[in-house]
Amino acid sequence: MDLGRIGCWQAQFVTETAADVRAAAAELEELGFGTFWYPEPLIAKDAFAAAAIVLAATDHVNVATGIANLWARDAMTMATGERTLADAFPGRFVLGLGVSHPEQVSAHGFDYSKPISMMRDYLDRMDATPNISTEPEVPATRLLAALRPAMLGLARDRTSGAHPYFVPVEHTRRAREILGEGKLLATEVTVVLEDDPDTARRIARSFTPFYLSKANYTNALLWLGYGDDDVADGGSDRLIDDLVAWGDRDAVTARVEEHLDAGADHVCIQVITESAGFPMVELRTLAPSLLAL
Domains in the chain: boundaries: 6-291
- Torsion angle of the four alpha carbons 233, 151, 50, 87, in this order, in degrees rounded to the nearest 10: 170
How is domain 6-291 classified at the CATH fold level? Answer: TIM Barrel (3.20.20)
DSSP 136: P
pTM over 0.85: yes
Beta-carbon count within 10 A of 201 CB:
20
CA 258 to chain centre: 18
Chain-centre distance of CA 170, in angstroms? Answer: 17
Q: What is the pLDDT along the chain (293 residues), one digit of tens a residue?
A: 899 999 999 999 999 999 999 999 999 999 999 999 999 987 889 999 999 999 999 999 999 999 999 988 999 999 999 999 999 999 999 999 998 755 556 555 556 668 899 999 999 999 999 999 999 999 999 999 999 999 999 999 999 999 999 999 999 999 999 999 999 999 999 999 999 999 999 999 999 999 999 999 999 999 999 999 999 999 999 999 999 999 999 999 999 999 999 999 999 999 999 999 999 999 999 999 999 99
C-beta atoms surrounding 60 within 10 Å = 9
Instruction: Tell me the C-alpha distance between 186 and 105, whole Å.
Output: 25
Start-to-end Cα distance in the chain:
19
